Amino acid sequence: MMPIRRDVHPHLPPERIGDWHRLGPHVTHFVNALSIFFPAGERFFMDSVRNYRDQVDDPELKRAIAGFIGQEAMHTREHMLYNKLMDDAGLPASRLDGMVWKLLDLLRKILPKSWQLAHTIALEHYTAMLAGGLLADERHLGGSEPGYRQVWTWHALEETEHKAVAYDVWNAVIKPGPYRYFLRTFTMLTTTVTFWAMVFVFHVRLVMADKQCKHKLLGFGRVMHFLWGSPGVLRKMIPEWFDYFRPGFHPWDDDNRAQLARIDPLIAEIEANAIRHGASTRAPSVRAA
């Protein structure tokens, strides 16, 4: 599986940033909260793979690393634009994004490079699980505003396409044995606690800041049902989360590559949607953080 960098720019109508999901503003803000993690998070992933790039000899894996970095750079750009729409709507995206940068800069400073890569493979497993769940069931995004549905579907497809790259680097550069297993699984446990605690706080902050978002408490019930009941992306992730603790685990053990046939038609759809709205199919230049 060779990831390819694709310069994609879905059209996101700014007026829908707080209410683009079919199930309304609360579910919208849960997904928006995830978007806040990407600029700092994906920079961290790229850097922790880059740290080991020179130690990789396999030419195939070297090409895959280049594709992985290219894809994450495009995701970062589009999520910076996405998150700016939240700021423009009076939502505290930049402030929350600043918290993620601070945390990850601290990890960069205090953790050895192997630990940074361990965090990356754990979080890439998270993005792969979320992406796989989202792609497997149309109800996650179906009926939502097309541009927002497209940006998440595109991101999910490319996360699937490159889901094994950081992991293959890990296997190539970290000495096999009990310490490698400990580091991989221990990091998954700490990442799970930290990541979901932050998602929860960010979600609450977005919902509370959004004046259009009514019936705040009732709305959280709807989000719970969406995540744990039907379609239940988190409930369905549980076996895959445990699978990560299997000593011989590999991301492609869950073979969902058939989904990747959707990429080319989706890109055509993204361009057609932008043109239909008189919007550009090219991204404006953004300052990389």
Residues that bind Fe ion (CB under 5 A): 72, 75, 127, 159
User: Secondary structure of 92-113 in the HEC alphabet?
Assistant: CHHHHHHHHHHHHHHHHHHCCH
- Which regions of 9-117 does DSSP assign to beta strands (E)? none
Q: What is the DSSP string of 154-208?
A: HHHHHHHHTTTHHHHHHHHHSPPSHHHHHHHHHHHHHHHHHHHHHHHHHHHHHHH
Distance, CA of 262 to CA of 271 (rounded, Å): 15
Q: How far apart, in whole angstroms, are the C-alpha atoms of residue 266 and residue 169?
A: 29
**In the complex with Fe ion, which residue's Cβ is closer, 25 or 67?**
67
Shortest Å, Cβ 47 to Fe ion: 13
Q: How far is the CB of 122 from Fe ion (least distance, A)?
A: 12
How far is it, in rounded angstroms, from Cα 223 to Cα 130?
Answer: 15
Q: Please report how close the Cβ of residue 190 comes to Fe ion at its closest, in angstroms.
A: 19
- Of 88, 10, 2, 26, nearest to 273 by C-alpha is 10
Nearer to Fe ion, 20 or 152 (CB): 152
Nearer to Fe ion, 178 or 255 (CB): 255
CB of 124 to Fe ion, least distance (A): 5
Indicate the residue among 96 and 128 with the shorter CB distance to Fe ion.
Answer: 128
The residue nearest Fe ion at its CB is 75
- State the DSSP code for 65: H
Q: Which is nearer to Fe ion, 27 or 166 (CB)?
A: 166
Distance CA 118, CA 187 (A): 6
Q: Give min distance, CB of 128 to Fe ion, in A.
A: 8
**Minimum CB–partner distance for residue 45 and Fe ion (Å):** 6
Q: Which is nearer to Fe ion, 72 or 240 (CB)?
A: 72
User: Nearest Cα to 152, choosing from 233, 230, 212, 229?
Assistant: 233
Instruction: Tell me the Cα Rg of the chain.
Output: 18
Shorter beta-carbon distance to Fe ion: residue 75 or 77: 75
143 CB-side CA count, 13 A? 7
- In the complex, the smallest distance separating the C-beta of residue 162 from Fe ion, rounded to whole angstroms, is 6
